């Protein structure tokens, strides 16, 4: 893989580093490129974590620490997306016989001496693969759980760490592995939602919750907060997230207009 560029000024280079990781992941066409994007996102997370600790050590304003925490969350989300893709790539490689299922190299029968690679040879440890599958399974069981988990910690003023995210992801993955409950006695006609229905309910729930919160008073406060945050180091990341969310909202509105 290409060597990563050194970081000379973490607080200044962090936004561009996060953008770089996101761009690399969106343009990745191979497992190697996804793996490199994951490494860049991991580097961004480490830089953001150091920046947050430095700000706390300096007794900096809470806004600066919160901004560093938001950068950590952005990096963790990109890293989680990369891990989900790696889980799919690795499982597909196993099905094709390009990666060993038991971790031991062996010659594929009828393969003219071809030896399937082990996870270590592919640059992945068993721990990495296990974590990647957990994130993938958690998102399948509860779409958006990674982003919501990170946002919940930010809203509570807590640092978004890998350890905290891992616990939340494991809990979500375990919920997905449990057998579905039988129909409720109170509603014998209850049918568990399909993944498509669950995804749509997540969309409508997000819209409904925001609409209920977005009173004139709250929007006025938010606008003042936006003005106060303009001089913070990571304000561009917030602006980008809002732009991406607005684009998604516009797309969903177009679905209705096209009916």
pLDDT digits (tens, 9 = 90+) for 24-83: 999 998 888 999 999 999 999 999 999 888 877 777 677 788 888 999 999 999 999 999
CA distances (Å), 229 to each of 145, 222, 225, 232, in order?
27, 10, 6, 5
The CA distance from 59 to 62, in Å, is: 8
Greatest Cα pair distance, the chain, in angstroms, is 71
Give 238's pLDDT tier (boundaries 50, 70, 90).
Answer: confident
Burial of 202 (0-12, 13-18, 19+ CB in 10 A): middle
Half-sphere exposure of 122 (CA within 13 A, CB side): 30
pLDDT given for residue 114 in this prediction? 35
Q: Closest Cα partner for 202 from 143, 135, 160, 249? A: 143
Task: Check whether 2 has a pLDDT greater than 50.
Answer: no
Give 120's pLDDT tier (boundaries 50, 70, 90).
Answer: low
DSSP summary character for residue 24: H
The CA distance from 205 to 72, in Å, is: 26
DSSP summary character for residue 40: H
CA-based end-to-end distance of the chain: 47
Q: Which residues contact 70 (CB under 8 A, 6 or more apart)?
A: 154, 234, 237, 238
Alpha carbon of residue 216 to chain centroid: 31
pTM: 0.62
Is the separation of the CB atoms in 38 and 203 below 8 Å?
no
The CA distance from 205 to 203, in Å, is: 5
Give the rounded percent of residues in the chain with a pLDDT score beyond 70. 76
The residue assigned the tokens 């196993």 is: 94
Give 227's pLDDT tier (boundaries 50, 70, 90).
Answer: confident
| pLDDT averaged over every residue in the chain | 77
β-pair partners for 99:
117
């Amino acid at each position: 893989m290409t060597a990563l560029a050194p970081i000379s000024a973490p607080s200044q280079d962090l936004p561009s580093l996060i953008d770089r990781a996101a761009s690399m992941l969106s343009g990745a066409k191979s497992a190697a490129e996804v793996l490199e994007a994951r490494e860049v996102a991991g580097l961004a997370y480490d830089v953001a974590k150091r920046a947050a600790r430095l700000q706390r050590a300096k007794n900096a304003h809470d806004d600066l620490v919160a901004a560093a925490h938001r950068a950590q969350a952005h990096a963790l989300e990109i890293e989680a997306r990369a891990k989900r893709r790696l889980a799919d790539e690795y499982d597909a490689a196993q099905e094709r016989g390009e990666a060993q299922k038991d971790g031991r190299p062996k010659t594929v029968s009828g393969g003219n001496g071809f030896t399937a690679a082990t996870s270590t040879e592919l640059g992945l440890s068993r721990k990495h693969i296990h974590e990647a599958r957990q994130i993938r399974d958690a998102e399948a069981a509860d779409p958006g759980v990674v982003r919501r988990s990170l946002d919940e910690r930010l809203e509570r003023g807590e640092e978004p760490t890998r350890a905290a995210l891992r616990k939340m992801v494991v809990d979500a993955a375990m919920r997905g592995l449990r057998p579905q409950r039988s129909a409720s006695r109170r509603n014998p006609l209850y049918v568990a939602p399909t993944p498509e229905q669950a995804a749509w309910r997540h969309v409508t729930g997000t819209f409904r919750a925001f609409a209920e919160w977005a009173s004139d008073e709250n929007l006025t406060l938010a606008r003042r907060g936006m003005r106060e945050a303009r001089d913070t180091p990571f304000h561009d990341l917030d602006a980008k997230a809002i732009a991406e969310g607005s684009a998604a909202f516009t797309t969903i509105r177009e679905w209705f207009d096209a009916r």
